[in-house]
A and B are shown apart, each in its own frame.
Chain A
Amino acid sequence: MRAKRRARVPRSLRGVEEQLNRQVYLDHAASTPARSEVVEAMLPWLGEHPGNPSGSHRMARDARRAIDDARDAVAALVGMDPGGVVFTSGGTEADNLAVDGVLGDGSGVAVCCAAEHAAVLEPVRESGGVVLPADAGGRIDLGALAETLESVADIRLVSVMAANNETGVVNPVAEVVSLVSERAPDALVHCDAVQATAWLDLADACRGARLVSITGHKFGGPKGAGALVVDGDVPLSPMLRGGGQERERRSGTQNVPAIVGLGRAAELVVVDRGETAVRVAAMRDRLETGLLAAVPGASRTVPDGVGRTPAVAHLCFEGIESEALLFLLEQEGICASAASSCSSGAQDPSHVLAAMGIERSVAAGSLRLSLARATTDADVDRALSVIPGIVERLSAYA
Chain B
Amino acid sequence: MEPQRVLVAMSGGVDSSVAAALIQESGHDVVGVTLRLWGGESDSGCCSVSDVDDARRVADCLGIDHHVFNMGEDFDRHVVEPYVADHAAGRTPNPCIECNRHIKFDRLMRRARSLGFDRLATGHHARVVDMPDGSRRIARASDPAKDQSYVLHMLDQDVLARLDLPVGEMSKDEVRARAAGLGLRTADKPDSQDVCFITGASRGDAGRREFLGRRIPLTSGRVVDGSGAEVGRVEAVEMVTLGQRRGMELAGGDGPRYATAVDTATATVTVGSAADLLVDATPVDRAVWADGPVDGSVLVQTSAHGEPVAAVLVSGAVHWEAPHRRVAPGQSVVFYDGDVVLGGALAC
What are the residues of chain B within 8 A of A344 when measuring CB–CB?
A: 34, 36, 49, 52, 68
Q: Which of A322-338 contact B (CB under 8 A)?
A: 323-324, 327-328, 331
Given A327-B115, A342-B36, A393-B114, A347:B70 Cβ within 8 A: yes
In the complex, whether A57 has a CB less than 8 A from a CB of chain B is: no
In the complex, whether A186 has a CB less than 8 A from a CB of chain B is: no
Minimum C-beta distance from B11 to chain A (A):
13
In the complex, whether B78 has a CB less than 8 A from a CB of chain A is: no
B68 interface neighbour in A321, A328, A345, A397, Cβ under 8 Å: A345
Complex contact B70–A343 (CB within 8 A) = no
In the complex, whether B245 has a CB less than 8 A from a CB of chain A is: no
What are the residues of chain B within 8 A of A2 when measuring CB–CB?
A: 63
B115 interface neighbour in A8, A324, A343, Cβ under 8 Å: A324
Minimum C-beta distance from B250 to chain A (A):
46
Given A327-B115, A397-B110, A397-B114, A346:B63 Cβ within 8 A: no
What are the residues of chain B within 8 A of A394 when measuring CB–CB?
A: 114
Complex contact B115–A5 (CB within 8 A) = no
Minimum C-beta distance from B180 to chain A (A):
14
In the complex, whether A1 has a CB less than 8 A from a CB of chain B is: yes
Given A8-B65, A346-B68, A346-B70, A324:B111 Cβ within 8 A: yes
For chain A, the bracket of interface size reads 20 to 34
Q: Which of B89-112 contact A (CB under 8 A)?
A: 110-111
> 0/1 per residue, B104-129, Cβ < 8 Å to A?
00000011011110000000000000
In the complex, whether A150 has a CB less than 8 A from a CB of chain B is: no
What are the residues of chain A within 8 A of B52 when measuring CB–CB?
A: 344-346
Complex contact B49–A327 (CB within 8 A) = no
A327 to B115, CA, bound (A): 8
Complex contact A397–B69 (CB within 8 A) = no
In the complex, whether B28 has a CB less than 8 A from a CB of chain A is: no
What are the residues of chain B within 8 A of A321 when measuring CB–CB?
A: 111
In the complex, whether B61 has a CB less than 8 A from a CB of chain A is: yes
A205 to B107, CA, bound (A): 46
Minimum C-beta distance from A337 to chain B (A):
13
Given A328-B115, A344-B34, A323:B63 Cβ within 8 A: no
In the complex, whether B324 has a CB less than 8 A from a CB of chain A is: no
> 0/1 per residue, B52-65, Cβ < 8 Å to A?
10001000111101
Complex contact B114–A324 (CB within 8 A) = yes
What are the residues of chain B within 8 A of A175 when measuring CB–CB?
A: none
Minimum C-beta distance from B112 to chain A (A):
10
Complex contact A346–B69 (CB within 8 A) = yes
In the complex, whether B185 has a CB less than 8 A from a CB of chain A is: no
In the complex, whether B67 has a CB less than 8 A from a CB of chain A is: yes
> 0/1 per residue, B40-81, Cβ < 8 Å to A?
000000000100100010001111010111101000000000
Complex contact A348–B62 (CB within 8 A) = no
> 0/1 per residue, A381-398, Cβ < 8 Å to B?
000000000000110011
Q: Which of B260-277 contact A (CB under 8 A)?
A: none
Minimum C-beta distance from A391 to chain B (A):
11
Complex contact A343–B61 (CB within 8 A) = no
In the complex, whether A4 has a CB less than 8 A from a CB of chain B is: yes
What are 28 A-to-B residue pairs whose CB atoms are below 8 Å? A1-B61, A1-B183, A4-B62, A4-B63, A5-B60, A5-B63, A8-B65, A323-B69, A323-B70, A323-B111, A324-B111, A324-B114, A327-B115, A328-B116, A331-B115, A342-B36, A342-B70, A343-B49, A344-B34, A344-B52, A345-B52, A345-B56, A345-B68, A346-B72, A347-B70, A348-B70, A397-B110, A397-B114
Would you list the 7 A-B pairs with minimal beta carbon distance, nearest first?
A397-B114, A4-B63, A346-B70, A346-B36, A5-B63, A344-B52, A346-B68
A interface residues (Cβ-Cβ under 8 A, vs B): 1-2, 4-5, 8, 321, 323-324, 327-328, 331, 342-348, 393-394, 397-398
B interface residues (Cβ-Cβ under 8 A, vs A): 34, 36, 49, 52, 56, 60-63, 65, 67-70, 72, 110-111, 113-116, 183
